[in-house]
Amino acid sequence: MQTISTSSDIVADSASGGTSCGGNPAKWFVSVDDRRLPVPSRNVKVSVIRAQAGIPDDRVLVRDHNSPDDEVLDDSGDIDCARGNVLYTEDRRDARAPTRCVASAKIAFSVDDRVEETLNHGQTGATLLDLFGLDRVKALFRDHESQVDESVKQDDPILFEDGPVFYTRGQIIEVGIIIIVNSRRFGREEGVRPVMTAREIAGLISAKPEDFDTYAGPVAKGKPLPPDEPIKLKDCDVFTVVKKEVTGGFLVARIDLELGKLKAGGTNVDYIEKPTPVVIYRELPIREGLGIEKTDVLVPVPTGYPGQHLDGAFIPDGSPLIGRVVGKAAGATLSVDNRTWRLMSYHPHTGGGFPEWNPNFHGFHTYIDALIAWLTGWK
């Protein structure tokens, strides 16, 4: 049995500001006059805090050390929030010259957007929940600047310098292990167990895991893991799953999974490989007054999918929708499925009202949202 350690992917970086899970920095905040103020990183300019907190020029910013010699911060300096993130303001005329204080500074944790101050840096998951008066059955997570957050168990030590922002979700009962595969988070609900094989890990992203190699870490380097040897998993273990042979530059297995989600909901959708890879959404509804009630829509598969975003839409050539929906008919046509299709200039993820393309979230299963909006929602 192997124990895969990806501790190099969980980095405590004093320059960037905190532990990262899968390479993502932790969130930070400061408390200014008992107000919670999010800051962009652990190390931040005092001028940024002053501006965001709306501190007037006649007041100075002070770090609270619970001491008569509290540290007055230089307006033009920087602050390392890990040395203490509890601040207050006082009249500039009464302030001492900026200087450091040797006493330990107060620190503030945030759980579910509530703030509690303490002098104790040596917390655990259990004591942090106790500090906030929360039931210990709560599932606790450290908040990161991404969709991948860090699960914290009751006995886990919590280092303040790794990030002070947390949230709770439901109960900790059988929460299980969270791992990251190809930058996506998988847990108990997706089938993650404490011990899995590399082939089973590949099965989290593909219906044909035998066609894939699994590597420990965020990039595929070195030798792949033996496919059938058990691996003892830990929270935040990171893996990269790579298809052994790629045809056309994209993963058909991923498309199959995305279309499977649509088919499970009753959508009639097909992947057609030749003469060019496309997905056809069949009988999508159309708003009243456009001459027809339903239409098929063809979307090409980009060569670099999913890294390259989905874009545009083809409708049957000669359709009454041409000139009546958003986007002009372009000159490009395709002959697929025994029909000719006309390209419409529709770009939902590049200025068309939908979020910027995220390959870890978006796909053919979400692009249908843009198509439905295009055909039914815009007037």
Residues 22 and 156 in one domain: yes
DSSP structural state of residue 83: G
Q: Is residue 162 part of a domain?
A: yes
Residues 61 and 112 in one domain: yes
- Reported confidence tier of residue 314, pLDDT bands at 50, 70, 90: very high
Find the helix or strand (DSSP H, E) in which 128 lies.
Answer: helix 125-131
pLDDT in tens, 226-250: 999 999 998 889 998 887 764 444 5
Residues 273 and 127 in one domain: no
Beta carbons of 194 and 162 less than 8 angstroms apart: no
Residues 17 and 130 in one domain: yes
- Check which CATH number belongs to the domain holding 303 and give it: 3.10.110
Specify the length of the chain in residues.
379
Quote the domain boundaries for residue 334: 252-377
pLDDT of residue 316: 94
- Reported confidence tier of residue 166, pLDDT bands at 50, 70, 90: very high
Residues 200 and 109 in one domain: no
Q: How many CB atoms lie within 10 A of CB 248?
A: 12
Residues 67 and 41 in one domain: yes
Beta carbons of 286 and 321 less than 8 angstroms apart: yes
CA geometry: angle at 202 spanning 200 and 205, to 5°? 115
Weakest mean pLDDT among 24-33, 173-182, 185-194, 253-262: 173-182
pLDDT of residue 353: 81
Rounded distance between C-alpha atoms, residue 3 and residue 10, angstroms: 16
Q: Is residue 4 part of a domain?
A: no
Q: How many CB atoms lie within 10 A of CB 229?
A: 11
Single residue among 128, 147, 170 that ends a domain in this structure: 170
Weakest mean pLDDT among 161-170, 247-256, 350-359: 247-256
Rounded distance between C-alpha atoms, residue 237 and residue 24, angstroms: 13
Q: Is residue 278 part of a domain?
A: yes
Q: Is the pLDDT of residue 173 over 50?
A: no
Residues 286 and 338 in one domain: yes
pLDDT of residue 248: 46
pLDDT of residue 176: 67
Rounded distance between C-alpha atoms, residue 301 and residue 252, angstroms: 10
Weakest mean pLDDT among 39-53, 99-113, 245-259: 245-259
Q: Is residue 2 part of a domain?
A: no
Q: How many CB atoms lie within 10 A of CB 76?
A: 9
Rounded distance between C-alpha atoms, residue 107 and residue 100, angstroms: 16
Rounded distance between C-alpha atoms, residue 128 and residue 53, angstroms: 27
Q: Is residue 152 part of a domain?
A: yes
Rounded distance between C-alpha atoms, residue 115 and residue 108, angstroms: 6
How confident is the prediction for the chain on average, in pLDDT? Answer: 84
Residues 256 and 235 in one domain: no
Q: Of all residues in the chain, what percent are helix, strand and coil, respectively (each to 5)? A: 15, 35, 50
Q: Is residue 84 part of a domain?
A: yes
Single residue among 113, 148, 170 that ends a domain in this structure: 170
Residues 159 and 22 in one domain: yes
Average pLDDT over residues 187-210: 88
Closest CA to 149 of 235, 245, 51: 235
Q: Is the pLDDT of residue 307 over 50?
A: yes
Rounded distance between C-alpha atoms, residue 47 and residue 142, angstroms: 27
Single residue among 152, 170, 188 that ends a domain in this structure: 170
Q: Is residue 57 part of a domain?
A: yes
pLDDT of residue 80: 95
Residues 286 and 354 in one domain: yes
Residues 221 and 259 in one domain: no
pLDDT of residue 183: 72
Number of folded domains that form the chain: 3
Q: Is residue 331 part of a domain?
A: yes
Residues 146 and 102 in one domain: yes
DSSP structural state of residue 368: H
- Reported confidence tier of residue 251, pLDDT bands at 50, 70, 90: low
